């Protein structure tokens, strides 16, 4: 059973981090650094957008190496669509971090987030990397979590422990994401640290499986970014027998990792740009994960559904309509729909329901929609947000 503890990525033994202001953004922290003094293994999942930012390409290459020791992240500038200069700047961030920490450059990953199409102010970034390397500490996780934010209104960090083979395992996480949220991945970054001892192939498999059931089931606005990534780094300091094959210990770790990543996903959605409500869609009776995901994302990306929730209007017709254009695999005459415990559709036909109760349900900060297709054994849960006036305001002046 996972236990929530205070802290974020540096709640994990042996992990150091910090966040500093280097000058990319006004007077806010804009450069973060995560470091493991002991050699670790890492795994990552990256954006599927055809347009990939320079740091994504560099990290995608470096993460294939057997050892990862550090991750450097800047906010306020995406270093995307920046050509050869952008690639060289991402490489320079890696090289400088490695130089200051006495590492091989292949052991360093890099990430950026912010405005697309602008060059990094490298003189400021270089000073920031030097400062970050000099100020690494075992309580710097919160500073790092603050330094990766853009339009976020809150820092996003959590830490958890669980027991494995008689050893306490810790998982820490920090993330950023508020808008451009629609994975295969979204404009979101998540960095996870853990002290578990596990082989690199199994860490990769665990992360892929966990991302599929967490970050790839969230949406704010249906936009997939150029910079998205989720990175996990395991330093092995918990002292558990190294996990080298699938079995009870591996599955227990995957369960804990799912718990962490689902919670981080929900935090991202709660802080969605202009969001007033978190919408959770649970679909059971599907024949496959892919079918359930298509339907859930179709519902949660529908502007008509999103605005109905913002207006607290129990217009369930928008839900079934979004399902109808998202997939042709289900049988409309079998569908049941509930808003929390209030049934509004049965076997594909709308029901008379208590409008006052519906308004009360929809006035909550978090609203759950339950859908039963009665077709198969699979079940899926996805998370999204409503669409408010504030979302338009935020995104109409993002560059300024």
Q: Within the chain, which residue ranges are assigned CATH 3.60.70.12?
A: 3-268
Q: Top-level CATH class of 3-268?
A: alpha beta
Tokens of 206: 């665990």
Q: In the prediction, which pLDDT does 302 show?
A: 93
Instruction: Quick: pLDDT tens for 283-304.
Output: 999 999 999 999 999 999 999 9
Sorted by sequence, the CB contacts under 8 Å of residue 35 that are 6+ apart come out as: 15, 16, 17, 69, 70, 101, 136
Q: Within the chain, which residue ranges are assigned CATH 3.10.20.340?
A: 278-396
Instruction: Compute the half-sphere exposure of residue 260: CA atoms within 13 Å on the CB side of its CA.
Output: 37
pLDDT tens for the chain, 400 residues long, are: 578 898 899 999 999 999 999 999 988 999 999 999 999 999 999 988 888 999 999 999 999 999 999 999 999 999 999 999 999 999 999 999 999 999 999 999 999 998 888 999 999 999 999 999 999 999 999 999 999 998 788 899 999 999 999 999 999 999 997 654 444 434 589 999 999 999 999 999 999 999 999 988 887 655 556 788 999 999 999 999 999 999 999 999 999 999 999 999 888 888 766 678 999 999 999 999 999 999 999 999 999 999 999 999 999 999 999 999 999 999 999 999 999 999 999 999 999 999 999 999 999 999 999 999 999 999 999 999 888 777 676 666 555 4
* 187 annotated active-site: yes
Cβ contact 142:183 at 8 Å: no
Tokens of 335: 């569908």
Homologous superfamily of 278-396 in CATH? ArgJ beta chain, C-terminal domain (3.10.20.340)
Angle at the Cα of 216 (from 213 to 222), degrees rounded to 5?
Answer: 145
Among 10, 113, 187, 193, the active-site one is 187
């Amino acid at each position: 059973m996972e236990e929530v503890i205070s802290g974020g990525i540096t709640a994990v033994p042996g992990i150091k981090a910090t966040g500093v202001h280097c000058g990319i953004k006004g007077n806010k922290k804009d450069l973060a650094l995560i470091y493991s003094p002991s050699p670790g293994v890492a795994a990552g999942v990256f954006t599927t957008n055809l347009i990939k930012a320079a740091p994504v390409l560099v990290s995608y290459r470096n993460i294939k190496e057997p050892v990862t020791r550090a991750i450097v992240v800047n906010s306020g500038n995406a270093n995307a669509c920046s050509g050869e200069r952008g690639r060289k700047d991402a490489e320079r961030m890696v090289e400088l971090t490695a130089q200051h920490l006495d590492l091989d450059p292949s052991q360093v990953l890099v990430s950026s987030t912010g405005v697309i199409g602008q060059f990094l102010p490298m003189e400021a970034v270089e000073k920031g990397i030097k400062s970050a390397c000099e100020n690494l500490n075992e309580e710097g996780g919160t500073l790092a979590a603050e330094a990766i934010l853009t339009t976020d209104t809150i820092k996003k960090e959590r830490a958890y422990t669980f027991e494995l083979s008689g050893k306490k395992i810790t998982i820490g996480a920090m993330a950023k994401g508020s808008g451009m949220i629609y994975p295969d991945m979204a404009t979101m970054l998540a960095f996870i640290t853990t002290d578990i001892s596990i082989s690199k192939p199994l860490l990769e498999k665990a992360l892929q499986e966990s991302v599929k059931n967490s970050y790839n089931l969230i949406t704010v606005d249906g936009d997939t970014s150029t910079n998205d990534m989720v990175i996990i780094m395991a330093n092995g300091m918990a002292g558990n027998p190294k996990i080298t094959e699938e079995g009870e210990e591996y599955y227990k770790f995957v369960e804990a990792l799912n718990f962490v990543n689902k919670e981080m996903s929900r935090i991202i959605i709660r802080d969605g740009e202009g969001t007033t409500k978190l919408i959770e869609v649970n679909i059971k009776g599907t024949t496959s994960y892919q079918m359930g995901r298509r339907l859930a994302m179709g519902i949660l990306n529908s502007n008509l559904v999103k605005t109905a929730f913002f207006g607290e209007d129990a217009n369930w017709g928008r839900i079934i309509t979004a399902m109808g254009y998202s997939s042709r695999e289900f049988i409309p005459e079998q569908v049941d729909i509930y808003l929390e415990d209030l049934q509004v559709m049965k076997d594909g036909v709308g029901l008379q329901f208590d409008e006052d109760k519906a308004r009360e349900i929809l006035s909550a900060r978090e609203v759950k929609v339950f859908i039963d297709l009665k077709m198969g054994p699979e079940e899926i849960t996805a998370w999204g947000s409503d669409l408010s006036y504030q979302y338009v305001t935020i995104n109409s002046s993002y560059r300024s």
